[in-house]
Amino acid sequence: MSGRRRRQGGSAARRAAVANAQIVHHPEIKRGIPLMEVTNQEGVELIHDFAMRVAEQIGCDFQDEETLGYWRQTGAEIDGERVRIGRDELLDLIGKIPSSYLHHAHNPERTVRVGDGQAVVSPSYGAPFVRDLEGLRRYATLADLDNLQKLNHMAPTVHIAGGTIVEPVDVPVPHRHLHMAYSGLKYSDKPIMGNVTARERAKDTLDMLKIVFGEDFAANNTVTTSLINANSPLVWDQTMLDSLKVYALNNQAVMCSPFSMAAASTPASNVGTVGVVLAEALMAMALTQIIRPGAPMLFGVPAMTVALNSGAPVHGSPDSAMVQFLSNAMARHYRLPHRAILNVATSKSGDMQAAYDSMWGLFPSMLSGAD
Amino acid sequence: MSGRRRRQGGSAARRAAVANAQIVHHPEIKRGIPLMEVTNQEGVELIHDFAMRVAEQIGCDFQDEETLGYWRQTGAEIDGERVRIGRDELLDLIGKIPSSYLHHAHNPERTVRVGDGQAVVSPSYGAPFVRDLEGLRRYATLADLDNLQKLNHMAPTVHIAGGTIVEPVDVPVPHRHLHMAYSGLKYSDKPIMGNVTARERAKDTLDMLKIVFGEDFAANNTVTTSLINANSPLVWDQTMLDSLKVYALNNQAVMCSPFSMAAASTPASNVGTVGVVLAEALMAMALTQIIRPGAPMLFGVPAMTVALNSGAPVHGSPDSAMVQFLSNAMARHYRLPHRAILNVATSKSGDMQAAYDSMWGLFPSMLSGAD
């Protein structure tokens, strides 16, 4: 065989190897190093006590009559929409939440265990804009979402297909959620996230998942994880509660994530912020255990601060990092699965600041053991 | 007073306040959070034992006859330039190094304590290029160094004036070091770093410092901290040793920093790299304690890896981070002051990658307690 033919053979073989290459998807990240702690057990107990006093003495607004009906099944004190609950009963309810759960994918090989100290990675969530290959920043479309789902499907270090990776504004709102769920199910074989923008949209998402997984399987297993936000301070609105009820009733996981903006919607101090959002999240999670004991739920704080000169949310500050460390420590205290924000930036473009901001989320989240 | 006059008064007052503003320089950074550890005491003991076996059984080359003369005053085994030393004697010598020291500035208010777990921040070191305000990447000049010294002088979070912030290539080598020391002493009132490129240049630096501090003060106090690198694996060359001897003899601090490029000059494994560079650094530091017991010295590993496809050094990799965590843990084990690299990047421009790379140095160094 001549040198020339050998080279051709090598090149063809390399092309074939690339074409046939199998993507080796990573399993859940298991920690090989100790957790980074910024406080000790005494600090954890103090924050716990603060959160309990908020739940007992101040309480949270639940702006939904059906939800208040659930609370009436407990010893909670209800005053209009305001609900207060004693710490013993609150902790009893929280104790029913499993410390981890399987988030099933329609490809069983992509099913992941969420919680118990191992980490799974999910794509971004909720971006209204994309920057395309020509550098143009514009509203996202369904074609963008499809492309991002394809990329996530191929990414070996991403475990979750995600949900609202971008908001596809070219699809009318009333049936947008159907196309979004379809995008995740068609272009990715990883576990998907559900819609939370209305009760019937959450139900539609579940109905689509039943088609894919089968009615029986979907009824008895967790096939989606969704995200709801409290309107901090101390308000859960009807839209979020409607979706939470649908998913909880069907044994589907929900991240109960106060959308805190420290110094605006929660106290300016990091410890104060953690205490308030902890009370908010624990009360919503306790509610789900009245509806369906044992339904999987996640605690989580996006941990933003506010630029006091503009009112804009700030990602990637040292304060956000501290809130992340503390809220992870609190999640472990209650043995709750915990979501964190890894890579978000205040910067509007892909510049140095965006990377600095992102790393201020990534390091604290990973080092403090987010799930 | 009219509204207009009040506004003018406010504006003038603000201008005056800016003009008269005092820069409040930060003292040394004192840790308020626990250290991040990636290994336990057993891991530290294993790495220690590995380093001791390297020093005892393999040894290090010291390419300088005068240095070998110092070693002959000990029980070290000398074979050509190769020096091997038993762990008991090595640790005896290392034990004479203070766990912290005062690095004096010519403005006493800027004097800092280095070591004992508090951190001081130094500017960059050794950059051959600058990128100017027009975006041009070019060789650095003395004017650049002067400007950077002025900026560091003003920066409230930078504790050290630095030394070779950039290499001013417009000044001929034989008297470049004089201009560099002058730049630091003239344009900054913070502690400066010394020249190490030849024995007489180290002496010249000291002579200049004696003019500024006074002969007596400079003889009895540490007025400069310098940086020397081992040629890993296991070689200390004459140039570096000449400078080390000058500074040690005069009670001046030196960072004994193996220039390791893991997978090229040291083992590819992180633990292997730490073990080898530890042996190199401890032997150089032990040498200084033969020359002048009690002279302040710092351990430190730049912790680079190598891109195996190009041979280029890589900054900001997870492996570098792991070496940083481990070498900080080892420094604490020996109660030695420890330098680390905070913000270095493989990227050649100020882009996202540069920021990601930098943060892979900053977080591990700060969280693992570098001095």
Banded model confidence at residue A21, pLDDT cuts 50, 70, 90: confident
Name the closest residue on chain B to residue A43, using Cα atoms: B33
Determine the distance from the C-alpha atom of residue A257 to the mean position of all C-alpha atoms in its chain, rounded to a whole number. 8
Q: Above 90 in pLDDT, residue B204?
A: yes
- Enumerate the residues of chain B whose CB falls inside 8 A of the CB of residue A38: 33-34
Residue A15, SS3 per DSSP: helix
CB atoms within 10 A of CB B242: 22
Banded model confidence at residue B3, pLDDT cuts 50, 70, 90: very low
Residue B78, SS3 per DSSP: strand
pLDDT for the residue B200? 97
The 10s digit of each residue's pLDDT in A23-60 is 899 999 998 888 999 999 999 999 999 999 999 999 99
**Dihedrals phi, psi of B82, to nearest 5 degrees:** -80, 130
Token couple for B313: 């050094």
Which residue in B149, B280, B157, B252 sits closest to B195, CA to CA? B252
Q: Which of A38, A352, A358 sits opposite B351 (nearest CB)?
A: A352
pLDDT for the residue A9? 58
Which residue in B332, B315, B299, B298 sits closest to B262, CA to CA? B315
Quote the mean pLDDT of chain B: 93
Q: Which amino acid makes up residue B315?
A: H
Quote the mean pLDDT of chain A: 93
pLDDT for the residue A259? 84
pLDDT for the residue B1? 41
Q: Above 60 in pLDDT, residue B2?
A: no
What order do you get walking across the sheet with A297-300 strand by strand? Answer: A192-193, A224-230, A253-258, A297-300, A338-339
Q: Above 70 in pLDDT, residue A336?
A: yes
Banded model confidence at residue A8, pLDDT cuts 50, 70, 90: low
CA pair distance A145, A164, nearest whole angstrom: 8
Least confident of A218-222, B246-250, B264-268: B264-268
Phi-psi region of B49 (alpha: psi -120 to 50; beta: other; left: phi over 0): alpha
pLDDT for the residue B20? 76
Q: Which amino acid makes up residue B43?
A: G
With the C-alpha atoms ordered A247, A250, A252, A256, is the resulting torsion angle positive or negative? Answer: positive
**Which ipTM did the prediction report?**
0.84
Banded model confidence at residue B12, pLDDT cuts 50, 70, 90: confident
Averaged over A224-250, what is the pLDDT? 96
Beta bridge partners of A349: none
Averaged over A215-236, what is the pLDDT? 95
Q: Above 90 in pLDDT, residue A4?
A: no
Q: Which of B34, B356, B359 sits opposite A37 (nearest CB)?
A: B34
Q: Above 80 in pLDDT, residue B9?
A: no
Q: Which amino acid makes up residue B145?
A: L
Token couple for A124: 């971004």
A216 Cβ contact partners less than 8 Å away, ≥ 6 residues apart: none
**Dihedrals phi, psi of A347, to nearest 5 degrees:** -60, 145
Inter-chain touch B363–A358, beta carbons under 8 Å:
no
Assess contact for B165 and B193: CB atoms under 8 A: no
Averaged over B343-363, what is the pLDDT? 91
The 10s digit of each residue's pLDDT in B70-125 is 999 999 999 999 999 999 999 999 999 999 999 999 999 999 999 998 999 999 99
CA pair distance A70, A106, nearest whole angstrom: 33
The 10s digit of each residue's pLDDT in A82-112 is 999 999 999 999 999 999 999 999 999 999 9
Determine the distance from the C-alpha atom of residue A312 to the mean position of all C-alpha atoms in its chain, rounded to a whole number. 22
* Residue that has been written with the tokens 């201020």 in this structure: A360
Which chain B residues touch A if contact means CB-CB below 8 Å?
33-34, 36-40, 350-356, 358-360, 363, 367
**Which of A35, A36, A41, A353 is the best residue to mutate to test the B interface, defined by the most B CB atoms within 10 Å of its own CB?**
A36
